[in-house]
Structure 1
Amino acid sequence: MSTHTTTSREKRWYEQITIDLIALILQRSIFHPFIAWLIPLCQRAVGAPYESFEFRATCSYAAFITLVWMLSVINKRLAYGVPRELDWDEEVVVVTGGASGLGKIMAEMYGMRGASVAVLDVHKPAKESEGLAGVHFYQCDVGDAAAVEKAKTEIEKDLGPPTILLNNAGIVNGKPILSLRPSEIQRNFNVNLLSHFNTIRTFLPGMLASPIGGTIVTVASVLGKLGASHLSDYSAAKAGLIAMHTSLRAELSSSNTAPAGAENIRTILVTPGQLSTSLFAGLETPSSFLGPVVEPVELAREIVRMVDAGESGHISMPLYARCIDWLHILPVGLQRFVRACSGVDRAMEDLRASKETLSAAKRANNSTAEEKN
């Protein structure tokens, strides 16, 4: 959520311990129904009587954990419906912004499986990899609707109709609102927001017509819920993505106005915290325990897992990103205090100042070297 500049270095062992790691361990141990029921079973194995307080207490705890787990499953099924069945002989994956960062990792994951993958990006991948060997690259500005339509024609000719759309393209300006040029603002919204409209309007009709349906992944950001200084354009675009995704789900699930084939479309919203990608290079959270930086491969793995399962849902990591909505119910004064402690509104300003200092130092060094010569 928040960041400050730091030099690149290897993490110490204790910095690997985060609240997310602890939550995961608890979720897969004492907060899991199977493990919870092992406790009273072990008590019985050592001769604990049925009427003992310890046995009854552990049974009650296991029953409570099981009830919560069942309600969670039911809630998910009511919210998102049953998963769709994927047929990898027919599935075609489209990744926008797949030449680098998170998009490239997802393209590599599917490429290494031998899946049909198309990458849309204005730049070609800087470095080829084994995973990209079978991936088709289409140079395309996804902010341009005509370019996306042209890419669709080429993809259908080469691979077939796309059924999985990973909307991942993004850029960051990182400037105060008064320093943004009109061209930068327009480019921001073209890539970060309008590109999603372009790709969905282009590829969704084919998914609706397909007997196997399709999956649409919207990669937004926790900043769409939080906002941040020096990121007004980026935050506004990501907020728009969250609203667009919610509206898309409503249109596809409406019993009266949903288009034919909508029951076979699955949607996934992704709202991560800071990723360790080039977009926010040079930033580090003030607390690696409470606000760890998310590794792109971890997020990619979770997105791919949900897509492969044919599920709809919401992916938000790390843990604080899932709790951001609660911030807005706090009194405004307390919200301001939390933001000040988190450093979210100082992050880009500190990074910009650091880059300017570094540039000035380089210029000074170059000047000194020229004078000596």
Structure 2
Amino acid sequence: MPPTAPPPQRDSWFAPLTIDLIVKVLKTSFFHPFVAWIIPLCFRAQNMFWDAPPMLVSIAWASFITLCWIAGVINNRIAFGLPREVDLSEEVIVITGGASGLGLLLAEVYGMRGATVAVLDVAEMENGEARGVTYYKCDVTDKDQVARVAAEIERDLGTPTILINNAAVVVGKPLLEMSFAEIEKSLSTNLLSHFYTLKTFLPAMACNEAGGTVVTLSSVIGTVGAAQLTDYAAAKAGVSALHRSLAAELRRSHPRIRTVLVTPGQLSTPLFHGVRTPNRFLAPVVEPVDVAKEVIAAIDSGRSAAIAIPLYARWIDWYSVLPAGLQAIARRLAGVDTAMQTFVGRAGSGGERKEGKGDVLIQAF
């Protein structure tokens, strides 16, 4: 009997309220240097003396926030170096898994903004054609197909300057229920394909005087793992390690190439259809448009970056520091190992199940 999607649940009136929204409001108000300095200026406009306690407290707070902001700028400069100059009219962007989901959103945005975009996917594009976007049917797990399509892109569009490794698959089964074909397909798509595309597109990008940008889509699951995601978690952990090591190599050998690592939580795409977040306040489901905004901002600025969405994803590395007992308690409270019990994948959301090696669910992240 095929899996069916769980019945829809009515959201409460406060469902849009999340810790991420609260932090965003605070960052643009009390924790923003400009706003912080307005407070002592307002006190001064009321003829308050400089040595008055409220004035001293507000100045101390504004100074602290300003120093934190400066420290953040210095930290980013040390970690990621100077940005490169980006001219979208001269950029050729390659997006794997760009026929739907986040990949398609990025392709459409850059296509409309005048960049040249090449989408690599085994599935046809959901909207048929998009302005400025050229579709190439390609299985990124086949290095020969990747090489062939790379030659076609070079001939049709020019030398790629931006590579976005976005393709992903989810099997969603316990390890003991997975076939060897499913395991191989999952690891090939989620991990090995990154090696194939990097080895294919990086050499030309490295020779480009204007440099280039490599964007890697990983996941918080690569850090914490989860039941029914053994293959996916292993691949995403490998992707994160691959990106960090590659960034270290490029920093020494090709400093003009920028690297962007994206580590999102659960995305509201068919890839994880049916999976419910255990806590919408602390662990909200991420909309693709929110991730796309951050990725586009990093690419446009020409800087390297480490993007983690939502808020808990920025601190997920501290999970490994906790004692094993606290980790077990945190997993139980978060429900990370039971979330996949309602998983139905793209097949349950109106899409088609891709037949082949082990009948895996294929969808762009």
Alignment partner of 1:61 is 2:55: no
Alignment correspondent of 2:194 = 196
User: Which residue of structure 2 lines up, in the alignment, with residue 246 of structure 1?
Assistant: 244
**Contact 2:89/2:114, CA 8 A, preserved across alignment:** no
Q: Which residue of the partner structure matches residue 143 of structure 2?
A: 145
Matched-pair identity in %: 52
Who is 2:221 aligned against?
223
Q: Distance in 2 between matches of 1:339 and 1:6?
A: 23
In structure 1, what is the equivalent of residue 318 of structure 2? Answer: 326
- For residues 155-194 of structure 1, the aligned pairs below 5 Å read 155-194=153-192
1:6 CA drift (Å)? 4.9
Tell whether 2:258 aligns with 1:266.
Answer: yes
RMSD: 1.6
Distance 1:92 1:79 in 2: 26
Q: Residue 285 of structure 1: CA displacement?
A: 1.0
* Partner amino acid, structure 2, of 1:341: L
Q: Which residue identity is paired with 2:33?
A: P
State the 1:48 CA deviation: 1.1
- 8 Å Cα contact 1:7/1:282 also seen in 2: no
* Aligned-residue offset at 1:115: 1.4
CA distance in 2, matches of 1:76, 1:36: 22
Equivalent AA in structure 1 for residue 57 of structure 2: A
Report the CA distance between 1:349 and its aligned residue.
2.7
Give yes or no for the alignment of 1:120 onto 2:123: no
Structure whose CA Rg is larger: 1
| TM-score, normalised relative to structure 2 | 0.91
> Any idea what SS the aligned residue of 1:166 has?
strand
Structure with a larger share of its residues in helix: 1
Q: Distance in 1 between matches of 2:26 and 2:251?
A: 35
Deviation at 1:347, TM superposition (A): 1.4
Residue in 1 aligned with 2:269?
277
Shift of 1:14: 1.1
1:111 is aligned to 111
Does structure 2 retain, via aligned residues, the 8 Å contact 1:272–1:318?
yes
Partner amino acid, structure 1, of 2:306: H
Distance 2:57 2:146 in 1: 60
| C-alpha distance in structure 2 between counterparts of 1:70 and 1:292, whole Å | 30
After TM superposition, the structure 1 = structure 2 runs for residues 348-359 of structure 1, keeping only pairs within 5 Å, are 348-351=340-343
C-alpha separation in 1, matches of 2:147 and 2:13: 49
Structure 1 residue 315 and structure 2 residue 307: aligned?
yes
Alignment-mate amino acid for residue 242 of structure 2: M
- CA shift for structure 1 position 89: 2.9
- Matched residue count: 343
Aligned to 2:73: 73
Gaps of 5+ in 1: 357-373
* 1:220/1:271 contact within 8 Å kept: yes
Question: Which stretches in structure 2 are left out of the alignment for 5+ residues?
Answer: 349-365
Q: Which amino acid counterpart does residue 124 of structure 2 have in structure 1?
A: K
Find the aligned partners of 2:308 and 2:244 in 1 and give their Cα distance. 15
Return the letter of the residue paired with 1:329: V
How big is each residue's C-alpha offset from its partner over 1:234-293, in whole Å with a ceiling of 9 and x where there is no partner? 000000000000100111123xxx2xxx11100000010000001101122121111100
Partner of 1:368 in structure 2? none
Distance 1:212 1:13 in 2: 49
1:35-50 to 2 correspondences below 5 Å: 35-50=35-50
Find the counterpart in structure 1 of residue 290 from structure 2. Answer: 298
Provide Cα deviations, 1:88-145, integer angstroms capped at 9, x if missing partner. 232100000000111011011111112100000001113336xx13310000011111
**What amino acid does structure 2 have at the position aligned with 1:38?**
I
Deviation at 1:351, TM superposition (A): 3.1
